[in-house]
Structure 1
Amino acid sequence: MMKLELQNIGGFTGVHTFDIQKGINRITAPNAKGKSSLLRGIQCLASDDETVFRDSLNDDNDTGTIKLDDGYMRNLRRVNNIVQATPADDRTFFDENSEWRNAEKIAFFTPKSRVVLEIDQNAFDVLRFVKSVSGAEIVESDLRRKESQLGDAKQKLDEYIENLTSAQKLEAEIKTMQGDIQRLQGEVQELEAEIAKESGTMDITDVSRDLTTKKREIEGLHERLRVREGEVKRYQDEYEKARSQRELINEEIDEFEQTYESPEKSIEGFKANIHKHERRKKSLKRGKDMVDSLLGVINEAYKMFGETERVVPEEASEISSLEKAYSLLGEPRECPVCNGSADRDTLEHRRDGLRACATDLSKDMRGEDEQTKMIKLDMKELQDKVDGLRAKRRALDEAKRNAEEYHKDWDERKDTLDAIEREISEKESERENLERQYEDATKNVQTKSRERLNEMRKKVGGFENEIRNNHKQIDRLTSEIPDYMIGETLEEYARKKNKGLEQLRMEIGELETQYDHEVRGAVKRFNDKINNIYHDMGFTTFRDIKIQEETTRGRPSSLDVLVEHESGKKQSLSSLSKAEQLTLGLVFQISAKENYIPAFPLFVIDDNMNTFDPDRFKLALKYLADKADYVIVSQPAPPSEQDELVIKYGVD
């Protein structure tokens, strides 16, 4: 036997205990007497769904507890109108056995379980049910996540490849232009040699060679300058980022210190305020307990006052204590407290007054709770800010050190940049001198030859400018490409990145195989059992029940249930009546329990077997008693036959 204890759960206010025996437990009561509250309390031990918690906690209380024997416990609390559990203090079924994590979906056949809700909406999705109980749902979630990652990675790679393709086209153009420059320089040298031969002046050839060498030196320095400028820009950005972070942290610290001159004193004030409200609540509770006690006495007096006669058992004349008890109760229509006369209206008025007072006290207690919660939240917010302030001060020191380091690196690279710029300036000056020498050397050259030389030199200059522009464009395109090494070919980069994509594709393939295995394995397990379960429970409407699979590109895309009547007529699940669908839903959940959590000790059914005839109801219960240690079923009872909730044991 297990003892179930519910405190402030559903319609139960305060602590209520129930004995759950091995075998069949039938919870019988009129409507609104706590049948569903009791079952939802048990469900909380197998659930981490806040919807279940919200439906379970008593509306008039902000905390509740469910205990089942000494092994399982769930604490609920309402915070800002949201009902939450406290996992650190709880011990649930799935804490004991991780394989029982799906127990709520399998072993609880209630109006709010997914299967029953979907059947009520004529939308029972067999594939979704099979996935949720078999583990395929988790595999599918991982599969969707990996497919999304692959899609994002492919899209980004396409963008990177497009940038890299453009960059490498520019590099190809640069190589072509460099070839054109070499060709033009060769032609220039040939022309200069001809001119020297005609004019007998060799200076022009020497000066031209020196000028070409100087241009190459300047071009190399410009390349170094381009790299250094990138480094300077990067360190400058890092410095500015660190400086901005430092300024932002300083502003936050100043704002906090202006708002709270003494945070520690504010926190002590919050604590004092909390103690005040807790004392007020304690006093209110003491008053409510007294009112509740008096109300209990008045209620009993009211009930006894309404008796027209009181039957004294024969044993009272033989047992003195029993005789004394009945004498103390007084006569009907007398007040059992003072033995004086009383009228019904006076008792009714007093009872109503006490009820109203108890309600007001409960409301005031909840108000004190809310005040305490708000103060605690404010205090926690302030404490978090104080902790955050300390962290910000540490972050400020870190940001200051980072800014100083970045500024030092920035200065060092800027010095190098300045040195390169000075060297370029010197080389440019030397180049200008060489150009003047070249111009002097060509003064005696024929006009036609000089114009041709100038035209060639202008073409070379044009190519050089275009090469510089292409380098800038390449820098812009490749700076956005992660893991790219300068000089790496398009094929090498694509091959490197495709390795990561191939790993994702391989993982997706494995998950697809695992998903198919889970779903098809589950379908086979269900098909192996559902007919036997259906007939062993005493159902005879269908001769055969089978889950059928529809596939898309070789993967299960949907599942349907096909039933065959004794006449040979076949129907799909959606064409059956609501009662027939509920019967099959129950069969599926029992099959899921046998297949996936056979050792789970409970099977709970709330109000969903009321359509069965008595004989079939008994057969179903007997079958379930062999599949779960504790079978708990709710049954409505007419108010004329039964006032309160009662647990009956066994089938009869």
Structure 2
Amino acid sequence: MNLNVKLTNISNFEHSEFNFRSGCINILEMPNAAGKSAILKAIATAYSFPLKSRIAEESATRLGIWRKVPPQPLAKIGSSRGIIEIKANGDVRTCIIETQEDIIVNQDGDEKFLFTSFVSIESELFRRISGGEDSLKWLLPAVSKVEDYERVLNVVFSIFDKIEKSLQITKDKKSHLELLKSEIERTKEELTIVEQELEDINQEIEKAKDKMDPELKKKYEKTSAKIENLRTKINEKEKEVKNSSNDLRRLAKEIERHKKELEDIDTKISEIDVELKQLGTDKEVKREIENIEKELDDLGKKRAIIQYRLKMFKSALSLNEGTCPLCGSGEFNKNYIQNRIEETQRELNKTDSEARAFTAKKENLARKLERIKDLNKKLPELLDKKQYIEREIDKLHREIEPIELKTRSLDNEIKALKSELAEKEELLNKLREKIMEKSEVKELYRKIELLLERKGELSARLSQKYEEIEEISKINILEREIPLDRAEELCKLYIAALNEVLNWLKNRINEQKKGFAERFNKSIDNVITRLKFKNLKVWIDSEDLRILIKRGESHQLIASLSLSEKSVIAVLLQIAIKEAFLPKVPIFLIDEVITDFDKERAYEVIKYLLEVAKEKDWIIILAKVGEKSSIMQISSIDEITKIF
């Protein structure tokens, strides 16, 4: 298998092409600052983009492959666009690096490539190991589904906490409810006793009234009845006011809920507006597509002319004698024709490269156009929904107005009734004073006053307790009002279901960790065994994913190793990670690093990589500093010494 890499306006390269072979070690040798690292980074870009995770973006930024904020680092300074084209066994990858925008790819790569298949002093693993970090926890989300599971786990935990709090509140409310019921029963018993005492005293007063002036008695009874009637009316009006207040609170909650919906919609509309400004209008994008189609059409015509010229030169070459109208002298010149064929073929390749770049950009613009259409479709839907909610809020405000008007009217009526009640009570007191001229009746009325005062206190207490019961009769669980008598059972059902989900997620996370550790440990053990490092054992703990190192009988920490030892361990770990987690992409890139080892260690590692390249038909590229630019293929163990 061959890997053909074409770079246009990438780093130092204006138009350059490189070829690498599988089944061997490709030694990419160049002077310092000549661009060898840029070639490896270009390959890594083609096989890793687009990036999806935060850690991949951070790693790509550190490697100098990509920036969230332009200009993009791989594009040649002064150019508006860089192009990476890679061909391998019929697979064609094209990356367009828009200097002031982003990286566009014709097919998705795998961001795991950055963590598994690229070794340099700037790569994530090498950087962490060099810093003494002894855990591979950071790698787990990049090569497994742990991050997805943990994201869901956090959401479920959040819901679980809310339900547990709701359950505790429910239990507290139920305890309080039982206490309130008990207090109500005691208050009712006391009220019954007071009412009985009042009845007994009233009977005694009635007996005394029989002896009083009939006219005074009649007036007293009429005033008492009027007072009772006024109190009944006041109670009825106050109940109406209470019901109106409840309605107003309910409507206010509805309005608040709708306002929150409006805020969410406004946020979405704002996000769509920002995205549409970034994307541009559909007319602008269509115009860009039309321009690209024109460019592609022109390139197609140009290609047809170039192909015709190439055909003519090849036909002329087949003559191999006599005169040649294509040769400058008119006489047949084989070298001249061969040179023109090569020039024309290069021109054709360049035209094809430009066409692929324009095609990739057109596809990206087509996706952008679809996104614009989708957003333009969503926007009126959101605006319609916003108008509907605003109408609902207006409707609720209109419902509130008559209720508020009615409440004010009731308040005025209650005020008037209470004023009339005060007058009647004053009159009754005067009548009572006349009746109480007799000492025995006076004492009875004094007792009634005390009992009525006590009855009022008990009635007020009962009303307060009933109001408290009404207030705690429902509980909000996950934005739903649930009756208190059903809330505890519902919370327990939720908790049982959530516990099952949590256990399932935890098991999946543990399985991912265990699987990660097993795959890695099997791979690193294989690497060390094949390298014949008999006294060295490296593995990771399946629980905390710490890297453990054992030499002979002694254990060592990463932090205790020398810088060169850390480098060796980092390379061994990287090889193991590659073989364990991305073996299907047969490319492994090493930017110097190994050539900095002592010769014995470097020889063993390169020997092992050569065996892997042959066994698995991998393309392994090792970049190193040299006086001249060249690509050398190491196909046998005997040739390894040429590297040093």
Is 1:65 the equivalent of 2:83? yes
For 1:121, the equivalent position in structure 2 comes to 131
User: Offset at 1:450?
Assistant: 0.5
| 2:238 corresponds to which of 208, 217, 222 | 222
User: Offset at 1:516?
Assistant: 2.1
Letter in 2 for 1:525: R
- For 1:211 and 1:8, locate their aligned partners in 2 and report how far apart those are by CA, in whole Å: 101
Once the two structures are superposed, the pairs formed by residues 483-494 of structure 1 within 5 Å of their partners are: 488-489=484-485, 492-494=486-488
Residue deviations 1:54-73 (CA, integer Å, cap 9, x gap): 35333433433333226453
- For 1:543 and 1:627, locate their aligned partners in 2 and report how far apart those are by CA, in whole Å: 24
- For 1:220 and 1:32, locate their aligned partners in 2 and report how far apart those are by CA, in whole Å: 93
For 2:18, the equivalent position in structure 1 comes to 18
Once the two structures are superposed, the pairs formed by residues 192-271 of structure 1 within 5 Å of their partners are: 192-200=202-210, 218-219=234-235, 221-235=237-251
For 1:85, the equivalent position in structure 2 comes to 103
SS of residue paired to 1:20: strand
- For 1:513 and 1:466, locate their aligned partners in 2 and report how far apart those are by CA, in whole Å: 55
SS of residue paired to 2:18: strand
Tell whether the 8 Å contact from 1:105 to 1:114 is kept in structure 2 after alignment: yes
Q: Kindly tell me: are residues 179 and 187 of structure 1, through their superposed partners in 2, closer, same or farther at Cα, counting changes over 3 Å?
A: same
- For 1:169 and 1:76, locate their aligned partners in 2 and report how far apart those are by CA, in whole Å: 73
User: Offset at 1:187?
Assistant: 2.5
Residue deviations 1:75-121 (CA, integer Å, cap 9, x gap): 45557x6x6334xx531233xxxxxx533322222322221011221
Residue deviations 1:548-574 (CA, integer Å, cap 9, x gap): 45xxxxxx2452313233xx4443443
Once the two structures are superposed, the pairs formed by residues 342-421 of structure 1 within 5 Å of their partners are: 397-398=387-388, 401-414=391-404, 417=407
Q: Kindly tell me: are residues 591 and 447 of structure 1, through their superposed partners in 2, closer, same or farther at Cα, counting changes over 3 Å?
A: same
Letter in 1 for 2:507: T
Is 1:32 the equivalent of 2:52? no
Once the two structures are superposed, the pairs formed by residues 270-309 of structure 1 within 5 Å of their partners are: none
- For 2:143 and 2:260, locate their aligned partners in 1 and report how far apart those are by CA, in whole Å: 52
User: Offset at 1:32?
Assistant: 1.6
User: Offset at 1:484?
Assistant: 7.0
Residue deviations 1:194-223 (CA, integer Å, cap 9, x gap): 333454489999998997797577546534
SS of residue paired to 1:93: coil
User: Offset at 1:399?
Assistant: 6.0
Letter in 2 for 1:402: E
- For 1:497 and 1:585, locate their aligned partners in 2 and report how far apart those are by CA, in whole Å: 50
Superposition TM-score, scaled by structure 1 size: 0.63
Letter in 2 for 1:444: I
Once the two structures are superposed, the pairs formed by residues 305-344 of structure 1 within 5 Å of their partners are: none
User: Offset at 1:542?
Assistant: 2.8
Tell whether the 8 Å contact from 2:8 to 2:82 is kept in structure 1 after alignment: yes
- For 2:131 and 2:377, locate their aligned partners in 1 and report how far apart those are by CA, in whole Å: 51
Superposition TM-score, scaled by structure 2 size: 0.63
SS of residue paired to 2:593: coil
For 1:185, the equivalent position in structure 2 comes to 195
Is 1:593 the equivalent of 2:609? no
For 1:578, the equivalent position in structure 2 comes to 563
User: Offset at 1:456?
Assistant: 1.6
For 1:313, the equivalent position in structure 2 comes to none
Q: Kindly tell me: are residues 506 and 387 of structure 1, through their superposed partners in 2, closer, same or farther at Cα, counting changes over 3 Å?
A: closer
User: Offset at 1:40?
Assistant: 0.9
SS of residue paired to 1:128: coil
For 2:456, the equivalent position in structure 1 comes to 461
Q: Kindly tell me: are residues 493 and 480 of structure 1, through their superposed partners in 2, closer, same or farther at Cα, counting changes over 3 Å?
A: closer
Tell whether the 8 Å contact from 1:11 to 1:33 is kept in structure 2 after alignment: no
Q: Kindly tell me: are residues 74 and 217 of structure 1, through their superposed partners in 2, closer, same or farther at Cα, counting changes over 3 Å?
A: farther
Letter in 2 for 1:38: I
Letter in 1 for 2:143: V
- For 2:209 and 2:334, locate their aligned partners in 1 and report how far apart those are by CA, in whole Å: 150
User: Offset at 1:31?
Assistant: 2.1
Tell whether the 8 Å contact from 1:6 to 1:12 is kept in structure 2 after alignment: no
Tell whether the 8 Å contact from 2:167 to 2:487 is kept in structure 1 after alignment: no
Tell whether the 8 Å contact from 1:27 to 1:646 is kept in structure 2 after alignment: yes
- For 2:198 and 2:21, locate their aligned partners in 1 and report how far apart those are by CA, in whole Å: 108
Tell whether the 8 Å contact from 1:604 to 1:633 is kept in structure 2 after alignment: yes
Residue deviations 1:348-373 (CA, integer Å, cap 9, x gap): xxxxxxxxxxxxxxxxxxxxxxxxxx
Is 1:519 the equivalent of 2:516? no
- For 2:333 and 2:98, locate their aligned partners in 1 and report how far apart those are by CA, in whole Å: 48
For 1:105, the equivalent position in structure 2 comes to 115
- For 1:205 and 1:487, locate their aligned partners in 2 and report how far apart those are by CA, in whole Å: 47
For 1:334, the equivalent position in structure 2 comes to none
Q: Kindly tell me: are residues 217 and 121 of structure 1, through their superposed partners in 2, closer, same or farther at Cα, counting changes over 3 Å?
A: same
What is the aligned length? 513
Which consecutive unaligned segments of at least 5 residues does structure 2 have? 68-72, 212-216, 266-279, 296-330, 338-372, 640-644
| 1:509 corresponds to which of 483, 492, 503 | 503
SS of residue paired to 2:583: coil
Tell whether the 8 Å contact from 2:610 to 2:635 is kept in structure 1 after alignment: no
Letter in 1 for 2:613: A
Q: Kindly tell me: are residues 237 and 595 of structure 1, through their superposed partners in 2, closer, same or farther at Cα, counting changes over 3 Å?
A: closer
- For 1:648 and 1:241, locate their aligned partners in 2 and report how far apart those are by CA, in whole Å: 70
For 1:533, the equivalent position in structure 2 comes to 527
Residue deviations 1:598-629 (CA, integer Å, cap 9, x gap): 32222222222211536424422223215644
- For 2:332 and 2:261, locate their aligned partners in 1 and report how far apart those are by CA, in whole Å: 89
User: Offset at 1:452?
Assistant: 1.2
SS of residue paired to 2:138: helix
- For 2:507 and 2:376, locate their aligned partners in 1 and report how far apart those are by CA, in whole Å: 52
What's the RMSD between the two structures over aligned residues? 5.2
Is 1:609 the equivalent of 2:581? no
Q: Kindly tell me: are residues 117 and 634 of structure 1, through their superposed partners in 2, closer, same or farther at Cα, counting changes over 3 Å?
A: same
Letter in 2 for 1:508: L
- For 2:444 and 2:482, locate their aligned partners in 1 and report how far apart those are by CA, in whole Å: 42
Tell whether the 8 Å contact from 1:211 to 1:434 is kept in structure 2 after alignment: yes
Which consecutive unaligned segments of at least 5 residues does structure 1 have? 95-100, 250-266, 283-318, 326-382, 550-555
- For 2:445 and 2:114, locate their aligned partners in 1 and report how far apart those are by CA, in whole Å: 95
Is 1:451 the equivalent of 2:446? yes
Tell whether the 8 Å contact from 1:563 to 1:573 is kept in structure 2 after alignment: no
For 1:560, the equivalent position in structure 2 comes to 547
Is 1:53 the equivalent of 2:31? no
Q: Kindly tell me: are residues 407 and 175 of structure 1, through their superposed partners in 2, closer, same or farther at Cα, counting changes over 3 Å?
A: farther
User: Offset at 1:128?
Assistant: 3.5
- For 2:335 and 2:97, locate their aligned partners in 1 and report how far apart those are by CA, in whole Å: 48
Tell whether the 8 Å contact from 2:592 to 2:622 is kept in structure 1 after alignment: yes
User: Offset at 1:142?
Assistant: 3.8
- For 2:9 and 2:193, locate their aligned partners in 1 and report how far apart those are by CA, in whole Å: 93
- For 2:245 and 2:533, locate their aligned partners in 1 and report how far apart those are by CA, in whole Å: 85
Q: Greater CA deviation, 194-203 or 161-170?
A: 161-170
For 1:359, the equivalent position in structure 2 comes to none
